[in-house]
């Protein structure tokens, strides 16, 4: 079940322009948070999974299906999954399980002011 959040998660405060924030729920409990933003024909999806396990996979698959329906209704032709945690070896496995293809590693550099 996908539920729109009323507030901006702490990690997005000050960098939330254009994002919509959602809680993903299974069995009445939050198992993930999602930040989505439409950019041209794509929906950028930033997913923070807070609980994971075999019993949640069905809920995740259903929520991804729901996101796809909502994205298509808004004219989106692809969902782009992103992570900033390059140490997370589960990202590729997880995205494949959810039906994503063409996984890539993205590197970024930061110049702090």
Cα(23)–Cα(92) distance, rounded to whole angstroms? 22
Local confidence band at 113 (pLDDT 50, 70, 90 cut-offs): very low
pLDDT at 87 over 70: no
CA distances, 44 to each of 29, 52, 59, 102, 112 (Å):
24, 22, 20, 15, 24
Terminal-residue alpha carbon distance, the chain: 40
**What pLDDT digit, counting tens, does each position of 16-70 carry?**
889 999 999 998 899 889 999 998 888 888 888 888 787 788 888 899 889 889 9
User: May I ask the CATH class of domain 2-97?
Assistant: alpha beta
Specify the pLDDT at position 109: 59
Average pLDDT over residues 80-109: 70
Domain ranges of the chain: 2-97
Specify the pLDDT at position 35: 92
């Amino acid at each position: 079940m996908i539920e729109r959040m009323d507030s901006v998660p702490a990690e997005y405060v000050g960098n939330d322009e254009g994002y919509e924030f959602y809680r993903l729920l299974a069995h009445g409990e939050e198992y993930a948070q999602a930040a989505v933003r439409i950019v041209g024909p794509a929906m950028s999806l930033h997913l923070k999974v807070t609980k994971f396990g075999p019993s949640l996979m069905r809920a995740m698959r259903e929520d991804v299906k729901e996101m796809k329906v909502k994205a298509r209704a808004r004219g989106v032709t692809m969902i782009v999954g992103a992570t900033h945690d390059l140490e997370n070896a589960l990202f590729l496995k997880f995205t494949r399980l959810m039906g994503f293809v063409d996984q890539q590693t993205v590197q970024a550099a930061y110049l702090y002011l």
